[in-house]
Amino acid sequence: MKEKSNYCLNCKVKPCSTKGCPLGNPIPQFIEQIKQGNTEKAYEILADTTVLQGICGRICPHKKQCQGSCVRGIKGEPVSIGELEAYAFDSVYDEDDSLLKCYEDEMKKNKSNLKVAVVGGGPTGLTASAFLARKGIQVTIYEKYDYLGGLLVHGIPEFRLSREVVQKTVDKILALGIQVKYNQELGKNLLLSDLEKEYDAVFLSIGANRSSQMGVEGEELEGVIGGNELLEHKLHPNYEGKTVAIVGGGNVAMDCARTIKRLGAKQVKVIYRRAREQMPAEDKEVEEAMKEGIEFLFQNNIVKIIGKDKVEKVELIKTELVQKENDTRLVPVNIENSNYEIDVDYIIMALGSKVEPYVKELGLETNQWGNIKINEEYQTSRPKIYAGGDLAGVKSTVAWAAYSGREAAKNIAKI
C-alpha cells in the first residue's frame, strides 16, 4: 500500500473529503499516516468521523464520491481511497477494542445519565449508537433479527461484502458498552410508546426495504418478485434453465442479477430505460455483471407483463433520451411502434425502496412517499423520537446512511 498512499498529493483544497465524501472523512490525513507506516493511527483518524471504515472502504461508490473528486483523477487515475480506507481497518482487524481505544478518554469525560433506544441495527443505527456511546450515553439497540448489520448482511451479497468484515465492525462498536435486544420488531413485540416512556430519546433507523412497483399491467402475476425482499429473505425459486429479467439500474439490480446468475439461471437480462452512463450502479458492478454473462437491455422500458397465472413474457418498448426545456437531464421517452416481446420466467423489480406500510401507524408525521418527516435536528413530530437513514428519505448509500446516524446522535446528545 506504500505506493498507493504515496500517490496522494495531500493537496490544500482536499475535495475528496470536503466535496466527495458524505461523511467528510479526513482522507489526506489518514493516507499520510499510511505513508509513514502508522496504520493504526490512520484508523484512529478515520474513527473521528466514521465507524464503518472496513465497509465503506469496500462498497462505497468511490468513483461517484471521494475518488470522483480526487485532484489526481483530473488527468489520470484517482488515488485508491477506498482500498486505503479498508487497509486502515484491516490493520486493527483482530482488535475488537480498537474503536474503544479511540473513544475511551472522551467517553470517560462525557459520562452521561441519558438513556437512548436505537431501533434498527443497520449502518444508520450502528453509527448512531457508536457516536452516542462516544458521548457517554447508555445505548440499547432493538433489532428485529438475531444479528446486527441490516442491509449490510441481507442486502449485499457475500461476494461483495464479507460477513466476517461486517461482524468485526459490529464487534468493535458493541465493545463501546452498547446493549442489544434481538428479535424485537416494531409494531409486533415492540411498541414505540413503551420505548418513549422508558428512554430519554428513541432513534428510529429501521430502513425502507420494501420494493417499489412500476404499476404496469401484469405486475400481480406469479413470478414477479421484489428485489429488496429477494435479497433480504433469500426465498429464491429454482432458476435452473430459466430466463430472469431484472428491472432497474442500481446496485440492488446488480446484486440481484449476479446472485441469480450464480444460482443457475440460464439467462439473466437487466432492463434499464436509460443509457449505461446514467446507471446509478457502480461501474465496477456493471463490469463484473457483464463479465459474468449478464445481458443488458439499455434504453428499454416495460409496457406490460404477460401471462395467464404466472409470468410468460414481457412486452418492452425502446426509448430515446431527450433533453426537455429547462431541464439539464436526459429524460427517457418511449419510441412509438418499437414494441417487442421477450420470453421470461421471472421478473425481479429493483426500482428503488419504500417504507413498510406499518410506519404510517406509528403516529408520526410522514411525507407523500411515506417517509418519516424530520427537522434539521433529525427530530420527528414527537419530540423524544428521532429518525434517520432510508426511513427518513436520506440518500440511499451506506455513507449517507452513516452520516445521518452520526448527525442524529450529535443532536440527541444535546438534550
Which grid cell sits at 306? 404477460
Residues 126 and 188 in one domain: yes
Length of the chain (residues):
415
Residues 106 and 201 in one domain: yes
Q: How many CB atoms lie within 10 A of CB 331?
A: 13
Per cent of the chain over pLDDT 90 is: 90
* Mean pLDDT score, 105-121: 95
Alpha carbon separation from 230 to 197, 205, 235, 261, 296 (Å, rounded): 36, 21, 6, 14, 20
Nearest CA to 105 out of 51, 47, 55 is that of 47
Residues 215 and 84 in one domain: no
Which grid cell sits at 377? 435536528
Q: What are the DSSP calls for 180-236, one per residue? A: EE-S--BTTTB-HHHHHHHSSEEEE-----EEP----BTTTSBTEEEHHHHHHH---
* Mean pLDDT score, 21-27: 97
Q: How many CB atoms lie within 10 A of CB 212?
A: 17
Is this model's pTM higher than 0.85 or not? yes
Distance CA 74, CA 324 (A): 30
Q: Give per-residue pLDDT as tens, 185-227.
A: 998 999 999 999 999 999 999 998 899 989 999 999 999 999 9
The predicted pLDDT at position 16 comes to 97
The predicted pLDDT at position 218 comes to 96
Distance CA 400, CA 181 (A): 25
Q: How many domains does the chain have?
A: 3
The predicted pLDDT at position 187 comes to 85
Q: Give per-residue pLDDT as tens, 363-405.
A: 999 999 899 999 999 999 999 999 999 999 987 789 999 999 9
The predicted pLDDT at position 405 comes to 98
Partners of residue 334 on adjacent β-strands: 319
Give φ, ψ of 316 to 5 degrees: -115, 160
Q: Is 111 helix (H, G, I), strand (E, B) or coil?
A: coil
Helix (H) or strand (E) holding 308: none
The predicted pLDDT at position 316 comes to 98
Which grid cell sits at 195? 420505548
The predicted pLDDT at position 215 comes to 92
Distance CA 161, CA 58 (A): 7
- Whichever domain contains 31, its CATH number is 1.10.1060.10
Contact at 8 Å (CB) between 110 and 136? Answer: yes
Residues 390 and 269 in one domain: no
Which grid cell sits at 32? 499520510
The predicted pLDDT at position 52 comes to 98
On average, the pLDDT of the chain sits at 95
Residues 12 and 78 in one domain: yes
Helices first, then strands: H and E counts in the chain: 15, 16
Q: What are the DSSP calls for 165-181, one per residue? A: HHHHHHHHHHTTT-EEE
Which of residues 326, 352, 378 is at a domain's end? 352
Distance CA 246, CA 241 (A): 16
Residues 327 and 267 in one domain: yes
Which of residues 352, 369, 388 is at a domain's end? 352
* Mean pLDDT score, 2-13: 92
- Whichever domain contains 253, its CATH number is 3.50.50.60
Domain that holds residue 51: 2-90
Q: In terms of pLDDT, which residue wins out, 111 or 317?
A: 317
Residues 336 and 230 in one domain: yes
Which grid cell sits at 332? 427517457
Residues 233 and 312 in one domain: yes
Alpha carbon separation from 398 to 51, 54, 165, 185 (Å, rounded): 12, 12, 15, 22
Which grid cell sits at 90? 484491516
- Grid coordinates 487497509 are at which residue? 87
Residues 112 and 168 in one domain: yes
* Mean pLDDT score, 289-297: 97
Residues 341 and 229 in one domain: yes
Residue 246 has pLDDT above 90, yes or no: yes
Residues 143 and 201 in one domain: yes
Helix (H) or strand (E) holding 284: helix 283-291
Q: Give per-residue pLDDT as tens, 35-90.
A: 999 999 999 999 999 999 999 999 999 999 999 999 999 999 999 999 999 999 99
* Mean pLDDT score, 356-360: 89
The predicted pLDDT at position 324 comes to 80
Which of residues 321, 337, 352 is at a domain's end? 352
Contact at 8 Å (CB) between 224 and 325? Answer: no
Residues 6+ apart with CB under 8 A from 36: none
Give φ, ψ of 359 to 5 degrees: -60, -35
Partners of residue 333 on adjacent β-strands: 320
The pLDDT confidence band at residue 278, using thresholds 50, 70 and 90, is very high
Residues 76 and 135 in one domain: no
